[in-house]
């Protein structure tokens, strides 16, 4: 039968003063933590996780989730792309954060002319339930901005190269997710689809736009959040989460979380 695993990618939106009432803290953070706790999702790829956010998540969710991943700066601080997973369902076999550059193992490295480094966090998880189980790998990233399409394509190629190298050592099912900062028509997404070695498909192809900008301007809506996999998908499981807090209409983020399920 296999093991069913629910995945979610969630750009939490860093704390930004110009967001006004939608700032992460002190306004949204309680709602976000409550949402994650109640979601029941097995594995969550998080983006725009600032150090204070990571601390709050660990303090609040440690009973249920282990959170892997560290910051993109040369001191391993700064914004992170963390992977949270259910502690009672998986054993962590390994994890790593690497940089989107020609030297992925060099902290804070980035392409020439790019001021902010970007990263990808990889975790290898082993389901711990009764019965036959096998590991799988999750890669979670936050790529360069859409206006830098060449850079987003470069970022995808760095991640694909890493995934192919990992699979050459031990061939496990793969999930690649995150905020790719580019639309389905971009060169970056086409590069993923055309990779014959990995055979990844977008489980979230039909969920519609994922960046909502707090629904302030529909011109800026776009699908830029994805879950790719070469594992068996659960039909009908893909969805974007459009929940808003009942008492005041608070958004979870300026992105809608996107989720889907696979079978290992």
The enclosing domain of 54 has a CATH number of 3.60.10.10
Residues 156 and 139: their CA atoms lie apart, in Å, by 11
Residue 132 clears pLDDT 80, i.e. is over it: no
Average pLDDT over residues 97-102: 96
Structure tokens at 6: 């629910």
Beta-bridge mates of residue 202: 228
What confidence category does residue 151 fall into, taking pLDDT thresholds of 50, 70 and 90? confident
Compare 212 and 145 and report the one with higher pLDDT: 212
d(CA 124, CA 116): 27
Query: How does pLDDT run across 32-42, given as a tens digit for each residue?
Result: 999 999 999 99
Q: Cα–Cα distance between 18 and 31 in angstroms, integer?
A: 19
For the chain, helix, strand, coil in percent to 5 are 25, 30, 45
Residue 108 belongs to domain spanning: 4-263
Q: Per the confidence metrics, is the pTM higher than 0.75?
A: yes
Count of structural domains, the chain: 1
Which pLDDT value is given to residue 247? 93
Tokens at 229, concatenated: 């996999």
Mean pLDDT to the nearest integer, 253-261: 98
């Amino acid at each position: 039968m296999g093991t069913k695993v629910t995945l979610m990618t969630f750009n939490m939106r860093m704390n930004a003063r110009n967001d006004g009432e939608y700032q992460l803290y002190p306004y949204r953070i309680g709602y976000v933590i409550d949402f994650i706790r109640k979601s029941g999702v097995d594995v969550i790829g998080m983006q725009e996780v600032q150090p204070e956010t990571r601390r709050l998540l660990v303090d609040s969710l440690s009973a249920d989730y282990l959170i892997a991943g560290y910051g993109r700066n040369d001191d391993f601080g700064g914004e992170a792309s963390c992977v949270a997973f259910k502690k009672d369902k998986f054993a962590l076999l390994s994890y790593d954060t690497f940089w989107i550059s020609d030297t992925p193992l060099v902290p804070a490295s980035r392409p020439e002319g790019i001021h902010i480094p970007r990263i990808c966090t990889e975790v290898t998880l082993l389901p711990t339930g009764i019965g036959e189980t096998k590991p799988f790998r999750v890669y979670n990233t936050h790529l360069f901005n859409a206006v830098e399409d060449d850079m987003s394509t470069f970022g995808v190629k760095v991640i694909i190269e890493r995934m192919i190298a990992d699979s050459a050592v031990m061939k496990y099912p793969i999930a690649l997710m995150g905020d790719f900062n580019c639309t389905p028509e971009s060169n970056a997404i086409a590069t993923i689809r055309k990779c014959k070695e990995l055979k990844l498909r977008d489980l979230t192809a039909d969920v519609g736009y994922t960046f909502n900008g707090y629904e302030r301007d529909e011109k800026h809506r776009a699908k830029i959040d994805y879950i790719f996999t070469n594992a068996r998908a659960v039909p009908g499981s893909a969805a974007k989460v459009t929940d808003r807090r009942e008492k005041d209409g608070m958004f979870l983020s300026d992105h809608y979380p996107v989720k889907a399920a696979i079978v290992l």
